[in-house]
A and B are shown apart, each in its own frame.
Chain A
Amino acid sequence: MDNQKLTQWSALREVELFLFREAELADQHLYKEWFALWTEELLYWVPCNSDEQAIGRKIALINDNRPELDERLFRLGTKFAHAQNPKSRLSRVIGNVVLQQWDADHGGCVTSRFNLTEVRAGRQLTFAGRQTHLLARQNGELRMREKHVYLANHDIPMPNLTFII
């Protein structure tokens, strides 16, 4: 393998391991650790009805900046977030990871797909979709600047979505 190929492979592997770690923290409801994966400025966006929605013009399922995401995680951490009390048991798999645009020093854009099983209140549900991460390298570490989640079921009657997606 030539050097350029090796660099591409190791970049992909680093990003994959980052996404796996993010998925694991989300599955375990480790809000503090998961929140620490973000950059100071952030957008956590889960559109509703369509993948091509103008942010702010139409309602999203989630459209959080830092204070709003902070508030969401605070709320989920209280004893009164009934829809997560008891918590969902989660298991997600990340795949089809593709670096769309990448710069070793600064980060870039990566797309992937996920498949998530939720078990709660005697029910087993499946969520799946595509996700786009805008990653930035800060002090050598990868951080999430934006995360967009395009749920397969965002235009049909949905159950609660109260865990980190």
Chain B
Amino acid sequence: MQQVENPLSAHAITHVNLQSLVQDGRVHSRAYTNQAIFDLEIDRIFHRSWIYVGHESEVPKPGDYQARPIGRTPVLMVRGKDNKVRVLVNRCRHRGAQVVETESGNTRMFRCWYHGWTYELTGALAEVTERGGYGPDFRTQNMGLVEVPRVASHRGFVFASIKAEGESLAEFLGGAAAQFDMLVDASPTGEIFLDAGTNKTEYMGNWKLVGMDGYHPNFVHASVVAGWARNSESGIGAMHREDPFSDEALTLTRYYGNGHAMLDFRAQRLKSYKKHAEFLSKVAGGVKYVEDMHKAYGKERAELLISLSGDPHLGVFPNLQLIGNQVRIITPITPGITQVTMSMVRLGGVSDEINTMRVRQHESFYGPAGSGSPDDAEIFERVQRGMMAEVNPWIEISRGMHREFVDTDGSVVGRITDEVPQRGQMKYWLHLMTQAA
């Protein structure tokens, strides 16, 4: 092995050396470990792009708010008296204190407890204490909580962009937009509610590691696979299906552009539609659910939606994932620390028993004590430690380059184990990172 010269000095990140980090089929590990690059990601990705902030169902009533970050910026997603959902920067216009300290709640107005300024739900400054201390030039109308300039929502998912101008949310989502339906329309009434709890997790690894990867399950989740084998022997594993993570399966990787990628289980799961419907028929309200779905969406689409059971397995770059029965937010903290929240989705228009069954499915695999998530986190931490070695710093992401193809809808498609998502994500990453302000 030879020592590869640093393509990058922490003090001088240029387009040229950024470009040298992302090559055909390989990425330099410094894209995941370097503090200066991380700082640039916050500026050029998280403080510019459309970032998922939360779902409208998390602020159902006027005065409801959720405190979340956009990159390094603390924001409030708040529903006004006019029912409009706004995203406000959670920073007092006086001397900069964070105004709201609780993660969520309901309020009539916001008060900063440093010197007592108050703000309306719209962010407008309501009252300055001891007003006489400011002269006639002090304009309260210019001193509200800063509203994030662009806010848009798609099927209830609220995105915000700190950059004042740019492509619309619809343009940004592109072909990925339609995949949100696979989750929302798992409800026969097209309603979902993110009110059934949230796993909050943290791992010691880079935020870009938690992507769409169909190559890892048989190895990272080998203990779960071993459990399935044991259960089918004892007769419990009645739902045994073929391995969706082998190259022979109908499962695919799919890249929609702009960093958005999915593990496409549609064809593979649809094949087992009868088993899915049969499984549901054993849950109270399951037969009615199948009927309601057919009434709402017609046979062909209902069968697909039921088979997929609300899991588009979609990653929306850079911070949203729709996986399993959950909505995930990825939050970068440092190059080597990432937080992931997993909010359980409750379906509208279905029996409590169906939702409870979905909660149990989630609990068994996901979260810090689930059978799956901890091993994912463990492996990300191993990757982060391994990547500190730079004797040969290249991360190999060429798998399937020779067999990927462009589908009729323009998306790039590979087999389930192929690194189509990783290549797409890093190509778009480079595009954002090398864009002028």
Contact = CB atoms under 8 A, between A and B. Distances in A.
A73 B230 CA distance: 13
Contacts of B197: 48-49, 53, 58-60
B390 interface: no
Nearest to A76: B223
B363 A158 contact: no
Interface residues of B, number: 39
A61 B368 CA distance: 7
Contact of B368 (A121, A123, A161): A161
A49 B414 CA distance: 39
Contacts of A75: 223-224, 226-227, 371
A46 interface: yes
Contact of A158 (B226, B344, B368, B378): B368
Contact of A78 (B220, B226, B379): B226
B374 A160 contact: yes
B368 A56 contact: no
Interface residues of A, number: 35
B222 A61 contact: no
Contact of A80 (B223, B363, B369): B223
A58 B344 contact: yes
Contacts of B341: 157
Nearest to B195: A58
B147 interface: no
B364 A161 contact: no
A80 B199 contact: no
Nearest to A77: B223
Interface of B: 196-204, 220, 222-224, 226-227, 230-231, 236, 339, 341, 344, 352, 355-356, 359-360, 362-364, 367-369, 371, 374-375, 377-379, 381
Interface of A: 46, 48-49, 53, 56-63, 67-68, 71-72, 74-76, 78, 80-83, 121, 123, 155-162, 165
Given A83-B374, A160-B203, 7 more contacts: A57-B359, A59-B198, A60-B197, A61-B363, A75-B223, A83-B378, A159-B202
| Interface pairs A-B: 8 shortest CB-CB | A80-B222, A58-B197, A157-B202, A59-B197, A83-B374, A160-B374, A80-B223, A83-B378
